[in-house]
Amino acid sequence: MSDTGLPPHTFTVTRADLVRYCGASGDFNPIHWSERTATDVGLPGVIAHGMYTMALAGRALTAWAGGSDAVVEFSVRFSRPVPVPDTDEGTEVVVSGTVKEVTEDGLTKISLTATCHGEKVLSLGQAIVRKR
């Protein structure tokens, strides 16, 4: 496994994924399932939970780092919403990362980004991992 970074990983996100995440996370904010509510508050339509997008970044991160116990710190900024159309295809989120530093005590600092249609939806993403 190369230490140059986390290669781009593409995730498909559909309305069904959001409904499942509502139930699993307990976050039933209607902007994640009701088009009417989402547009009423000025959003382009139903959007993904920020924490769903962060969870996808977490999947890419743990796969790269070797497991949940390799992650020491993990942080993101939700810079833009991820609109999820009511189609079979949904939308796509692309997660990638760049190694910034490997410290003397064996920790790797990595910067992470996630994009949707080429625009950053997660910015200032950072993780510290102890690679296995």
Partner 1 sequence: MPLDPSFVGRSWPPSDPYLVGREKIREFARAIGAEDPEYHDPEAARRAGYADVVAPPTFPVVITMSSSRQIIRDPELGLDYSRVVHGDQKFAYERPVVAGDALVCQNFVDEVMQRGGHDFITTRTEVRTESGERVLTAWAKLVQRGEDK
Please, which residue, 76 or 110, has the CB nearer to partner 1? 76
Quick check: 75 binds partner 1 (CB under 8 A)?
Answer: yes
Query: Which of 87, 84, 65 is CA-nearest to residue 74?
Result: 65
Select from 1-9, 44-52, 89-97, 107-115 the region that touches partner 1 (CB under 8 A).
44-52
Q: In what order do the strands lie in the sheet with 119-129?
A: 5-13, 91-102, 108-116, 119-129
- The smaller minimum CB distance to partner 1, of residues 31 and 115, is found at 31
Task: Identify the residue among 38, 46, 52, 113 touching partner 1 (CB under 8 A).
Answer: 52
Q: State how far the Cα of 81 lies from the Cα of 65, in Å rounded to an integer.
A: 27
- Burial tier of 56 (Cβ tally within 10 Å: 0-12, 13-18, 19+): buried
35 binds partner 1 (CB under 8 A): no
Q: Which residues bind partner 1 (CB under 8 A)?
A: 11, 17, 20-21, 23-27, 41-42, 50-52, 54-56, 58-59, 61-63, 67-69, 71-78, 124
